[in-house]
Amino acid sequence: MLPTVHARIGDELYVHGSVNNRMFGALAGGASLCVTVTLLDGLVLARAAFKHSMNYRSVVILGAARALTANEEKRRAMLAVVERVLPGRAAQVRAPNERELNATIVLCLPITEASAKIRSGPPLDAEEDRAIACWAGVLPLRLAALPPVADPHLPDTLAPPKTLTSWSRATTRTRR
């Protein structure tokens, strides 16, 4: 299990890691892979301990990945990951060079077996528990961007790009 940034292009999912990463090496060799992405939307607080839950959106993708070997394929996938992080960013930064491409394993996982699960709404307390004098409901959670913090080595005259200052998960959710 390793937290990593991913990108989707069509029906393929891309992840990347160091060539020195043993897990990525095993996956590049054809080992089975499970990728899980979950977005937590809220804490569901019930009257009964057993009924506590979370509101979320989750997907699990299973399969075997192949390692990309052509540098142009690797570059395209790595730039897609950058675009996933911040749409428009790939056009603003230097593309991966030969040394960086050689130091990176890029895995391509065809999306052929996947499962999605969503939970939303209030607690599902039993009828007899609704009379308990205990607050119940949902504590909604969201990802919100704070003001950008500049790299200390950045000149003061260089302002953050609009793609960064107007970032929201809603704008990145529509991109694939």
**Number of C-beta neighbours around residue 130 at 10 A:** 10
**Number of C-beta neighbours around residue 132 at 10 A:** 12
Q: With contact defined as beta carbons under 8 Å apart, do 74 and 96 qualify?
A: yes
pLDDT tens string 93-146: 999 999 999 999 999 999 999 999 999 999 999 999 999 999 999 999 998 888
pLDDT of 53 higher than 50: yes
pLDDT of 172 higher than 80: no
Distance of alpha carbon 140 from alpha carbon 168, whole angstroms: 17
Distance of alpha carbon 77 from alpha carbon 105, whole angstroms: 11
Residue 144: the pLDDT is 84
Domains of the chain: 6-173 (2.30.110.10)
